[in-house]
Amino acid sequence: MKILITGAQGMLGQAIGQALTDHEVVAVSKKDFDLTCPHEMDRTLRNLRPDYVINCAAYTAVDLAEKEKEKSIAVNGSGVEKLAQICNQYNSTLIHFSTDYVFNGSAIQPYTTDATVDPINAYGYSKLIGEKAITRISGKFYVFRISWLYAPHGKNFFRWVAESEQSELSIVDTQTGSPTSALSVADFVRHLVSNDPEHYGIYHFTNTGEWTWYAFAKAINEKLNLNKRISAVSEFKTAAKRPEYSVMDTSRTSQVFNYTIRTIDEALDKVVSHYKN
């Protein structure tokens, strides 16, 4: 397969690039494929005619988005809309990633894909605009809502806990979600590209199980033998609100794609082992 990966230098883009070694991959980053430059995107797809476009490019600064709403929408909303149109025009299947932050967090059981969306921060709102545009344009598309992404590389919570010089961390235990390894997402994408059921739509992909950020930090601390003192707090002041509960139901994804998803604990073990080596 000929595959274009956008946002290839980001955390997920790198992980997916490393997982797709059996395919002809063209990896592009913001400087040559900017979601806010339709002509650049059109030219690339016209020349390349990829079977798949895996869009890992996004505006992901959750707190900054509160101040930069327009910019976040230009990338995650209008930019994604344009990309979906261009994929349609050149008959490429679009694989796109959205977020658990499209939900308001008031649920008490895992969100299914048809649960009501109601983002409570600007980033979630901008991602929802992108999802809706892709669905409206239709065509050959997969949107995977993922959550709390981390990896041995890139900027993420796992690396912050592992590398912070602070010996004591105070972490919220009032938000619950499913930390998801970018290595797991990449493995799933590899499986999808080789076994595409052409069953397009919106899906949830997370490692299975749930932790609070505090529980996640404790698990990282233990598995890496960091010996930090980690305490639970009920509040950590941030510019953007975060959902209190954003666990997503992944059962449909497992069924449709015939794929067993790793648990949060197994996935963390794997990231820890990569991180150490």
Ligand X SMILES: Cc1cn([C@H]2C[C@H](O)[C@@H](COP(=O)(O)OP(=O)(O)O[C@H]3O[C@@H](C)C(=O)[C@@H](O)[C@H]3O)O2)c(=O)[nH]c1=O
Ligand Y SMILES: NC(=O)C1=CN([C@@H]2O[C@H](COP(=O)(O)OP(=O)(O)OC[C@H]3O[C@@H](n4cnc5c(N)ncnc54)[C@H](OP(=O)(O)O)[C@@H]3O)[C@@H](O)[C@H]2O)C=CC1
| Residues designated catalytic | 123
Closest to ligand Y by CB, 141 or 231 = 141
Q: Which does 50 bind (CB under 5 to 8 A by kind): ligand X, ligand Y, none?
A: none
Of the two residues 8 and 169, which places its CB atom closer to ligand Y in the complex?
Answer: 8
Footprint on this chain of ligand X (rule: CB under 6 A):
60, 62, 99-101, 147-149, 157, 169-172, 175, 213, 236, 238, 242
Q: Of 64 and 107, which CB lies nearer to ligand Y in the complex structure?
A: 64
The dihedral of CA 105, 74, 59, 182: what is its sign? positive
Determine the Cα–Cα distance for residues 258 and 188; give it in Å rounded to an integer. Answer: 10
Binding site for ligand Y (CB under 6 A): 7, 9-13, 29-30, 34-36, 56-60, 75, 79, 97, 99, 127, 146-149, 154
Report what 34 binds from ligand X, ligand Y, none; CB cut-off 5-8 Å by kind.
Answer: ligand Y
Q: How far is the CB of 227 from ligand Y (least distance, A)?
A: 26
Q: How far is the CB of 15 from ligand Y (least distance, A)?
A: 8
Residue 101 CB, nearest approach to ligand X (Å): 5
- Tell me the closest approach of the beta carbon of residue 169 to ligand X, in angstroms: 6
Report the residue number, 91 or 112, with the smaller CB distance to ligand X: 112
| Residue 62 site contact among ligand X, ligand Y, none (CB < 5 to 8 Å, cut-off depends on kind) | ligand X
Q: Which does 57 bind (CB under 5 to 8 A by kind): ligand Y, ligand X, none?
A: ligand Y
Residue 25 or 268: the one with the smaller Cβ distance to ligand X is 268
Residue 12 touches which of ligand X, ligand Y, none (Cβ within 5-8 Å per kind) = ligand Y
